[in-house]
Structure 1
Amino acid sequence: MPKVILVIMDGTGYDAAVTQCGYLEGAVELGRARRWKMQTATPSLSGPMYETMHTGLWPHEHGITSNESMRASERPNVFSLSRAAGKVTAAVAQEYYHRLYVDRPWDRLRSIEHHDTDTDIQHARFYSMEGYGAINAVAPAEIDLCAQVTLLAERHAPDYLLLHSCSADTLGHTYGGDSAQYRYQVWMIDNALSRAIPTWLELGYEVMVTADHGMNAERHHGGMEPIMREVPFYYFGAASGPDAGELLSQLGLAATILNRLGVAPASEMRPAFL
């Protein structure tokens, strides 16, 4: 069975990706990847969407309905089901993922590097972005995040490996989703992926690239506007998938990842699309 790397470009809406991500769009144009439009669940907020993407459930169902209600996941998810099936899991992600899928207290001086085969995320490099704002975005360099993913892939050979980048979301909240700063940061993620994805493919991974939500010009998301709910889904892999014009549901992502890993999805998860 293939191994999967999922890249979440936090805060990157569909139109921003299609207009700014020259590497990803070039791969689509050459037939080396496929791209669909995906609609998120709501409220289109980061914490609820992280759990939705990994459980296949609407926030009203899994219970995390705001960033302020973050807690450990209580439902079957991609990490827990993969680990139960004997797969290895890993992540390079912001600390919300530690709260969700690592059953250990967060230690700000030690938890950024994590190795514990008894937790649902078994190997990880976490970051906090503590105190980010207009003066300092506190965002890790995109190529450094990609490097950490590559090192985890080479050292631990995880079957499921998550890369979560917060920088576009941060710049969107600071300057707005119609700003030069936001668009440039979306491109910066694409630029780093252009150097990393070929290596990940050589290591035997399928690569999926998507976002948790978009960003409007008022520096906001969480509601029902299409710019908040429409995100891209890029796929580098062997599965055929639906027609290019079909609108995908974000709720099908969890089952899709598990299908590609050869792990049975939970019965409560929405249907896979690959």
Structure 2
Amino acid sequence: MKTILVVLDGLSNQVAQHAMGYLFAECRQGHGQYYTLSCELPSLSRPLYECILTGIPPVQSGIIHNGVSRLSTQRSIFHYARAAGLTTAAAAYHWVSELYNRTPFTAARDRHTVAPELPIQYGHFYHDDSYPDSHLFEDAESLRLTHDPDFLLIHPMNIDDAGHKHGLSSPPYRNRARMADGYLSQWMPGWLAAGYQVLVTADHGMNDDRSHGGTLPEETQVPLFVFGAGFSLQPDLQPQQTELCGTVCALLNIAHDKPVCQGLLAEPRG
């Protein structure tokens, strides 16, 4: 099943609970389900991109802070998908390109990637935290329409950017979450109508000190929304961030060796 993973960078669960009106509307119609999960530690971006995409916690992967700039030594969803002959794409922050394609990121070479031999074959990668989420979603839809990927990562940054500038309990932060929900309302109905399985989550949250990295609930509690026929939509599950990689691989029906949240799936898969 073709799958889209949306990582809304920096979206704290406590804001997601009241800001994501469209996503909750789809859930109330029986099209999806909302869960809360705890991110791994430290609650920082690059370590948690690696965790989400490989299922490996930061202290095991070695990507333990944002300054670790090297290719991942782990197998990611992109690697498993390519080994199975599937097509991959990402509209994401440039650290994702540095983890799985090439490092250091060279904008002239890597910003618009068409490289069938790499783990992420097709990509639009940005390096400015204020790059508009509206453009990022358009980049992602362009990749989807042009390359028909089996797995597509969509990773906007404006929620996190607003949090670092204004803090958790600020109108700009909350409104950026609402804007992301609005962009999803523009694009997600088409994805679901086309049969995609869609997961919407976050890497970490945000605190009132305009930062993250520690253990506060507002930093570590993040949402997980799932939509599509591949999901059981059972309530009261407790998915783990380390299970997202394996669960996506199971949806893609590809071989992998990662933990899976079997309860999320409509049918048990390895």
**TM bucket normalised to smaller:** over 0.9
Q: Which residue of 1 aligns with 2:214?
A: 223
More deviation in 144-153 or 246-255? 144-153
Q: Which residue of 1 aligns with 2:201?
A: 210
The 5-angstrom pairing of residues 117-136 of structure 1 reads 117-129=116-128
The Cα of 1:77 is off from its aligned counterpart by 1.0
The 5-angstrom pairing of residues 107-256 of structure 1 reads 107-129=106-128, 139-241=130-232, 243-256=234-247
Indicate if the aligned counterparts of 2:250 and 2:260 stay in contact, CA closer than 8 A: no
C-alpha distance in 1, partners of 2:82/2:133? 28
Indicate if the aligned counterparts of 1:87 and 1:158 stay in contact, CA closer than 8 A: yes
How large is the Cα RMSD of the aligned pairs? 1.4
Q: Secondary structure at the match of 1:6?
A: strand
Letter in 2 for 1:139: S
Indicate if the aligned counterparts of 1:57 and 1:270 stay in contact, CA closer than 8 A: no
The Cα of 1:233 is off from its aligned counterpart by 0.6
Q: Secondary structure at the match of 1:248?
A: coil
Q: Secondary structure at the match of 1:155?
A: helix
Identity of aligned residues (%): 35
Q: Which residue of 2 aligns with 1:270?
A: 259
C-alpha distance in 1, partners of 2:177/2:259? 29
The Cα of 1:201 is off from its aligned counterpart by 1.9
Q: Which residue of 2 aligns with 1:259?
A: 250
Q: Secondary structure at the match of 1:165?
A: coil
C-alpha distance in 1, partners of 2:231/2:152? 22
The Cα of 1:239 is off from its aligned counterpart by 3.0
Q: Secondary structure at the match of 1:207?
A: strand
Letter in 1 for 2:135: D
Indicate if the aligned counterparts of 1:11 and 1:169 stay in contact, CA closer than 8 A: yes
Q: Which residue of 2 aligns with 1:102?
A: 101
Q: Secondary structure at the match of 2:246?
A: helix
More deviation in 159-168 or 193-202? 193-202
TM-score, length of structure 2 as denominator length: 0.93
Letter in 1 for 2:87: V
C-alpha distance in 2, partners of 1:242/1:27? 12
C-alpha distance in 2, partners of 1:13/1:244? 20
Indicate if the aligned counterparts of 1:12 and 1:213 stay in contact, CA closer than 8 A: yes
Structure 1 segments (4+ residues) deviating >4 Å: none
User: Could you list the runs of 5+ residues in structure 1 that have no partner in the other structure?
Assistant: 130-137
